[in-house]
Amino acid sequence: MAKPLPRPTPTEQPFYDACARGELILQHCQHCGHVLFYPRTHCDACQSEQLVWQRASGAGVIASYTVVRRGVSADFEAPYVIALVDLVEGPRMMSQIVDVDFDALAVGLSVTVDFASWSEDITLPVFRLHPALDDDAS
């Protein structure tokens, strides 16, 4: 069974194009100011279609995480870390946290985005711990 890969719609394509050039972009609603993830045709706060892409900082904090010990299929080599990341711009996204000492993981830690090639056509955002951001905040 092959690894599941996104097949971007025209609406979503700018997000994946940005990932491929190493940028995380998010839709901003021109009507209510809401910042969206995942990409949509309509704002999920006010249903407006006036959505404009803007580059995100790439910074966030871990809302939750798990170390997957048994992968979903042979295409995913366990262990790996699945996390929910709250971006500083507001939205929450699922991702992997890569190159991490599992014992160092905790809810609330700062992370920053990186990009990983998932296939010939698809690059996805992943995250790394960013202790310097936590030091600044304390």
Partner 1 sequence: MAGSGLGGKYALIGMAESDVGIVPDKSPRELCVQVTLDAIRDAGLTLADVDGLITCNAFAEPIMYHAEAVAEYIGWQPRHCVTVNTGGGTTFMALNMAAAAIEAGMADTIVVAMADSLRSFMTREQAMVVQSSSGHPHYEQPYGPTVPAYYALIARAHMDEFGTTGEQFAEAAVSCRAWASQHPKAQMRDPISVEDVMNSRAIADPLKVLDCSLVSDGGAAVVITRQDRAKDGPHKPVTLLGYGEGHAYEHISQAKNLTTSAALQSGRAAYAEAGLAPADINLLQLYDCFTPALLIQIEDLGFCDKGEGGDWLASGISRPGGSKPLNTHGGMLSYCHPGNPGAMFGLTEAMTQMRGDAGKRQIEGISTALCHAQGGIMSSHATVILGVD
Q: What does the binding site for partner 1 look like in residue numbers (CB under 8 A)?
A: 1, 3-8, 12, 37-38, 63-76, 80, 82-84, 92-96, 102, 106-108, 118, 122, 124
Query: Out of 5, 32, 104, 116, which residue is the one contacting Zn ion (CB under 5 A)?
Result: 32
Question: What whole-number distance in Å separates Cα of residue 97 and Cα of residue 95?
Answer: 7
Give the list of residues 6+ apart from residue 43 with CB closer than 8 angstroms, or none: 27, 29, 31, 32, 34, 36, 49, 50, 51
Give the residues across from 54 on adjacent strands. 26
Residue closer to Zn ion (CB basis): 5 or 46: 46
Residue window 40-79: x/- pattern of binding to Zn ion, with contact defined by CB under 5 A: ---x-xx-x-------------------------------
